[in-house]
Amino acid sequence: MEQQAIYQRLCGIVGEANVRKMEPMKRHTTFRIGGAADFFVLPQTKEELAELVRFCKKDGVPWHVMGNGSNLLVADAGVPGVVIQLFKNFSRITLEDTVLCAQAGAINAQVAKRALEASLAGFEFAAGIPGTIGGAVVMNAGAYGGEMKDILLETEVLDGDGQFRNLKNEELELGYRTSIIAKKGYVVTEVKLKLEKGAGEQILARMEELRERRTMRQPLEYPSAGSTFKRPEGYFAGKLIMDAGLAGCAVGGAKVSEKHCGFVINTGEATAEDVECLMAKIQRTVREKFGVELEPEVKRLGGR
């Protein structure tokens, strides 16, 4: 299908104002890295999202759904096809007693703020996780002793047939950085969290404590995609990398943070190729020194 025909069809679904051609993806990732997407699309409703996905699948147009790009490494060559973003356009948060409902594009910090305002406890651990609630559910995000599976009631997803389904917690197969959503390629549209009534000052104190710990231990002053590698069973990725003597190791503009070796950071002008080469070097060195295989946590996107 010709590019102009794709563009016209996308505009017909979401309106011309919500379709961008050759959009630099470095503007939409926390790594600040990435070439251009052929088409960058911002649906405003679930119905538009479903129609976009059905169109792409029917006409063989490559497509990808993203949130705020906090866990993405986009190829320097860009992304062929359509990138659909669910972010500020899908960020409504509502409350039903102790159940918090959030659209997939709501930032975790926004969700935590709303829970705090309602004196609802249980989401404090995720307040500083950089990303959207949709992405947090897909990967069963966790930190400081909490995981999404602990508070997730149910999730609305768009399945492979373009149909909306509500999946209960027990149907989501939530494990370490995985879920049935990730395995089947579903798209999260809305989540419901079961929280508990608490004391506002205690909730705030816990959030502040965790924020301070993150600030002290993580290189938040640099662009990154968060933890670069998953935690190997029985080990910590950051410690393995540090013990391998790789603190401060750099390839081009990509560097292993001395503050936390589990983070590869962009010191200013890093390319995706720089990051890929550095990640490969880290994996090779850790494998040779400790016999441990590091699996990337950052998701790769694009390439031509």
Task: Say how far apart CA 109 and CA 132 lie, in whole Å.
Answer: 9
From first to last of its 304 residues, what are the pLDDT tens digits of the chain? 899 999 999 999 999 999 999 999 999 999 999 999 999 999 999 999 999 999 999 999 999 999 999 999 999 999 999 999 999 999 999 999 999 999 999 999 999 999 999 999 999 999 999 999 999 999 999 998 999 999 999 999 999 888 999 999 999 999 988 999 999 999 999 999 999 999 999 999 999 999 999 999 999 999 999 999 999 999 999 999 999 999 999 999 999 999 999 999 999 999 999 999 999 999 999 999 999 999 999 999 999 8
- Which residue is catalytic, options 119, 276, 297, 300? 297
Residues 56 and 78 in one domain: yes
CATH number, domain of 294, equals 3.90.78.10
Helix/strand/coil (H/E/C) assignment for every residue in 12-62: HHHCHHHEEEEEEHHHHCCCCCCCEEEEEECCCCHHHHHHHHHHHHHHCCC
Residues 56 and 142 in one domain: no
pLDDT of res. 1: 85
Residues 261 and 287 in one domain: yes
Q: Note whether 66 and 79 are within 8 A (CB).
A: no
Range of the domain at 185: 91-207
Residue 95 DSSP code: E
pLDDT of res. 160: 82
pLDDT of res. 67: 96
CATH number, domain of 13, equals 3.30.43.10
- Which residue is catalytic, options 177, 206, 214, 300? 177
Check if 297 is active-site. yes
Task: Say how far apart CA 59 and CA 1 lie, in whole Å.
Answer: 7
Check if 177 is active-site. yes
pLDDT of res. 304: 82
pLDDT of res. 296: 96
Last residue of one domain, picked from the residues 52, 87, 122: 87
Task: Say how far apart CA 132 and CA 231 lie, in whole Å.
Answer: 21
CATH number, domain of 113, equals 3.30.465.10
Q: Is residue 146 situated within a structural domain?
A: yes
- Which residue is catalytic, options 70, 179, 224, 227? 227
Question: Whats the size of the chain, residue-wise?
Answer: 304
Residues 202 and 100 in one domain: yes
Residues 140 and 230 in one domain: no
Q: Note whether 57 and 284 are within 8 A (CB).
A: no
Last residue of one domain, picked from the residues 62, 87, 112: 87
Q: Note whether 108 and 136 are within 8 A (CB).
A: yes
Q: How many independent structural domains does the chain possess?
A: 3
pLDDT of res. 227: 94
